[in-house]
Amino acid sequence: QVQLVESGGGSVQAGGSLRLSCAASGRTFSQYTVGWFRQAPGKEREFVASIGWRPGITYNRDAVLGRFAISRDNVKNTVYLQMNSLKPEDTAVYYCAARHSTDSEFGYWGQGTQVTVSS
């Protein structure tokens, strides 16, 4: 019911910044919670941050707290992940995912965007 496309990834040096975008197509995007996940080579996918459809409801992984910020623009149907003070351990493929307000799991996923942080 909703399709997600990530963009904004790239290669940066440690300490740099990137802003990831998750563009969604759908008529009821505002009813979805959107989360960012990442998966490094050889590792399990892990949660990064999420933002609810209601204002002010956000969650962040402890490892990125204070460095990453998630936001959304329901008019543009886009969710952002601002990443500052990037570290080599942040290197991963980043995915956005959506969960409808009536569901208990993230059932919609994008294709991912690569983030590479060099030391």
- Per-residue model confidence as pLDDT tens digits over 34-86: 999 999 999 999 999 999 877 678 888 888 888 999 999 988 989 999 999 99
Rounded Cα distance, 102 and 95, in Å = 21
Provide the pLDDT for residue 57.
80
pLDDT tens profile 8-43: 999 999 999 999 999 998 777 888 899 999 999 999
The neighbouring-strand residues paired with 111 are none
In the chain, pLDDT over 70 holds for what percent of residues?
A: 99
| Of 42, 71, 47, 46, nearest in space to 58 by CA | 71
Q: Is the pLDDT of residue 112 over 70?
A: yes
* pLDDT attached to residue 111: 96
Write phi, then psi, for 108 (nearest 5 degrees): -125, 130
Query: Do residues 35 and 47 lie in contact, with contact meaning Cβ atoms separated by under 8 Å?
Result: yes
Strand pairing category for 92-100 and 78-83 = unpaired
